[in-house]
Amino acid sequence: MVSICSPLPPNLVASSISVEAPRSRGRSLTSREYGVLLQSCIDSKSLERGKMLHSRIRKDGFERNRDLLPRLIKLYSVCGRIDDAKKLFDRMSKRNSDVFLWTSMICAYAKNGSMMRCFELFVQMLERGVRPDSYTFSGLLKASAEFGFLELTLQLHSMVVRCGCGGCLSVANSLIHAYGSLRVVHEARKLFDRMVVRDVASWSAMIQACSSMGSYADSMALFSSMQLGDCLKPNELTVVALLPACGFFSSLRKGQAVHAYVIRNGYESNLIIGSALVTMYSRCGDPDVAYMIFTSFYQKNLVLWTSMIEGFALNGKYDIALNLFKKMQDQGFQPNYVTLVVILSACSHAGFVDEGLQIFETMQEKFGVKAGVEHYACVVDMLGRGGRLEDAEKFIENMGMRPSGSMLGSLLGACQVHHNVEIGERMAYRLFELEPRNAANYVILSNVYAAVGQWHDVGRVRQMMIAKGLLKDSGCSWIELKDTVYVFGAHDRSHWESEKIYKVLEELSEEIVRAGYVPATEHVLLDVEENEKKKLLCSHSERLAIAFGLLKVPPEMPIRIVKNLRVCGDCHEAIKLISRVTSRKLVVRDTNRFHHFYRGCCSCGDYW
DNA sequence: ATAGGGTTAG
């Protein structure tokens, strides 16, 4: 027989006791013992066992026990019996004004997503004169943030202060989280900076807030101060909050370090961490390791599948991505909204226009997912990339919703690639109204003109930009070696080994010309001499970074670089040949995609 | 009895 204080896992203790032990021993359990058993029912969501326990607790007269009552409510709520929880609550609250009781019911509603009821109960509680405590506020803040109520969160915040709960760690953490998920990071940060004592949860919530806003540099900085300044050990939630930052910077070394930490701490079997790792490795251009992690999970879930599919697509392995999409369905997973965005985007980047359109048209009946803006945006992109610019424009007109800026932007980009001035102008002028301060739109329109040699219009657009005081984002590429990131701008000569770098480029130029390279000067969108154009092309930032990589990265290792804009068409050709003449694997990350160059070919199949 | 997690177009 297993005893109560056995070191075995609680569910084992519970199952062996709740059924036979008490009766066979012929004695009642203490409230403490009931507490342990109830907890195990909560953990394993065992409603039937919990009900049996409940009736025995009632018989033994422990139902009003301050330890057991909240647990009973929690048991019913985690088992999806929120109404039973409320019945019990109603029965008990007639004579009970204990904050424990009220808070547990409020939290049950908060977890359950019953926003209105949660706050109704809170009001009733205040009317009854029950003073809320830190637990009450944590529950309420969770509900308020989840429903995106900023006003309410602010009111709760001021109540927290008035009730003297402002100094409580868990309440402060809840507030940081709430502000973070409401995307008011500065409020979260203000609070965070004022905290006297911070624990892992505070740091994790703050890192998460930064990551969800895309302030990844802040996430990174916080992560190191947490360890160096506060000497705190990251936990699973910290890791999950940090991994997107590693992926964003394509910082394979940092990502690998986090992965090693995950393994050292036994977090590998955590599905959420697994999905975050798959995404991180995919964004660092290493889909093979991502796939290894993916396969290491025997029990997968939809998010893991979706992450892996996206990972392959991101790295140009479109066929594998689509196969995985089929395999996922064979294994009984129905794609959701996000999966369909991912798969449509894959079709768009792969040039699988017809397949993509078919998925789009049948997604509602087949998967019960109603197409949203993101899906429509993928279709516009798909048609645009495929050169079906008129179809794309018609699609925008007839889709029955206001086009988003990004939709018009992707069609404008397609007009640059396919040299369509007419549609390009229409898109650009709509965009100028929609997002007047976005310099990128002006730049693309001027590129559209430049691509067809309308230099007068190029100048006109440039004048518009100057008049509005808009500056073009300048292109740069970077490469990470050891723990340092080296950034190169176009025609950059600031690096201390600049001379060597340009020497490598010169030698390479000769070699790739021998291998058949012809500089595609149409990619120089400036009105300058032909020879000047050739020179300008050679020192694009991506080539500088690659040359530096050739000098520094051991020959057996791939050279990974990242560029903040799209790789230009000429560099793409050149890099293909560089991979051939040097027999190196070159991995270039674009704004959002990867190009894997090897033996003169690129994974994108020249369609991007 | 409480807070915190992964996948989303260009």
pLDDT tens digits, one per residue of A326-381: 999 999 999 999 999 999 999 999 999 999 999 999 999 999 999 999 999 999 99
**Does the pLDDT at position A23 exceed 70?**
no
Cβ of residue A126 lies below 7 Å from strand B: no
Stretch A21-47: mean pLDDT: 80
Helices A530-538, A569-582: crossing angle, 10 deg rounding? 60
**Does the pLDDT at position A135 exceed 80?**
yes
Q: Report CA(A272)–C1'(B5) in Å, whole number.
A: 7
Q: What's the pLDDT at A26?
A: 56
- Amino acid making up residue A330: D
Give the span between the Cα atoms of A156 and A151, in whole angstroms: 9
Stretch A566-592: mean pLDDT: 90
Q: Which nucleotide is nearest to A306 (CA to C1')?
A: B7
Q: What's the pLDDT at A542?
A: 92
- Amino acid making up residue A413: G
Stretch A254-268: mean pLDDT: 95
Strand B contact residues in chain A (212-231), C-beta within 7 Å: 212
Q: Report CA(A117)–C1'(B4) in Å, whole number.
A: 24
Spans of all domains in chain A:
476-602
Q: Which nucleotides of B are covered by protein (CB under 7 A)?
A: 1-10
Cβ density class A207-226: b for 16+ within 10 Å, e for less: bbbbbebebbebbbebbeeb
Stretch A308-330: mean pLDDT: 96
Of all residues in chain A, the percent with pLDDT exceeding 90 is 71
Instruction: Give the residue among A22, A18, A16 at the shortest CA–CA distance from A1.
Output: A16
pLDDT tens digits, one per residue of A205-239: 999 999 999 999 999 999 999 999 889 999 999 99
Q: What's the pLDDT at A522?
A: 66
Cβ of residue A465 lies below 7 Å from strand B: no
- Amino acid making up residue A296: S
Q: Closest residue to B2 by CA to C1' distance? A: A135
- The mean of the pLDDT values for chain A is 89
- Amino acid making up residue A351: G
Strand B contact residues in chain A (304-333), C-beta within 7 Å: 304, 306-307, 310
Comparing A334 with A29, the larger pLDDT belongs to A334
Q: Closest residue to B1 by CA to C1' distance? A: A104
Q: Closest residue to B5 by CA to C1' distance? A: A237
**Does the pLDDT at position A3 exceed 50?**
no
The residues near A513 (Cβ < 8 Å, ≥ 6 apart) are none
Q: Report CA(A52)–C1'(B1) in Å, whole number.
A: 22
Q: What's the pLDDT at A134?
A: 93
Strand B contact residues in chain A (30-69), C-beta within 7 Å: 35, 39, 67
Q: What's the pLDDT at A11?
A: 41
**Does the pLDDT at position A124 exceed 80?**
yes
pLDDT tens digits, one per residue of A77-119: 999 899 999 999 999 998 888 999 999 999 999 888 888 889 9
Strand B contact residues in chain A (227-256), C-beta within 7 Å: 235-238, 240-241, 244
Stretch A523-542: mean pLDDT: 74
Helices A569-582, A498-514: crossing angle, 10 deg rounding? 90
Predicted confidence band at A256 (pLDDT cuts at 50, 70, 90)? very high
Residues A512, A581 contacting (CB under 8 angstroms): yes
Cβ of residue A141 lies below 7 Å from strand B: yes
Cβ of residue A403 lies below 7 Å from strand B: no
**Does the pLDDT at position A22 exceed 80?**
no
What element of type H or E holds A486? Answer: strand A484-489
Q: Report CA(A352)–C1'(B3) in Å, whole number.
A: 45
Stretch A399-404: mean pLDDT: 90
pLDDT tens digits, one per residue of A43-77: 888 999 999 999 999 999 999 988 899 999 999 99
Cβ of residue A144 lies below 7 Å from strand B: no
Cβ of residue A282 lies below 7 Å from strand B: no
pLDDT tens digits, one per residue of A438-492: 888 998 999 899 888 898 998 899 899 989 888 877 789 999 998 888 999 988 8
Predicted confidence band at A4 (pLDDT cuts at 50, 70, 90)? very low
Of all residues in chain A, the percent with pLDDT exceeding 70 is 94
pLDDT tens digits, one per residue of A551-570: 999 999 999 999 988 888 88
Q: Which nucleotide is nearest to A267 (CA to C1')?
A: B5
Q: Report CA(A384)–C1'(B4) in Å, whole number.
A: 41
By the 10 Å C-beta count (0-12 exposed, 13-18 middle, 19+ buried), A583 is classed as exposed
Cβ of residue A440 lies below 7 Å from strand B: no
Q: What's the pLDDT at A524?
A: 65
Predicted confidence band at A1 (pLDDT cuts at 50, 70, 90)? very low
Q: What's the pLDDT at A206?
A: 96
What element of type H or E holds A54? Answer: helix A47-59
Q: What's the pLDDT at A20?
A: 41
Cβ of residue A384 lies below 7 Å from strand B: no
Number of DSSP helices (H) and strands (E) in chain A, helices first = 32, 6
Instruction: Give the residue among A38, A94, A98, A90 at the shortest CA–CA distance from A62.
Output: A38
Q: Which nucleotide is nearest to A377 (CA to C1')?
A: B9
How far from A26 is each of A20, A22, A23, CA to CA, in Å? 10, 6, 5
Q: What's the pLDDT at A15?
A: 43
Predicted confidence band at A526 (pLDDT cuts at 50, 70, 90)? low
Q: Which nucleotide is nearest to A276 (CA to C1')?
A: B6
Strand B contact residues in chain A (168-207), C-beta within 7 Å: 169-171, 173-174, 177, 181, 199-202, 204-205
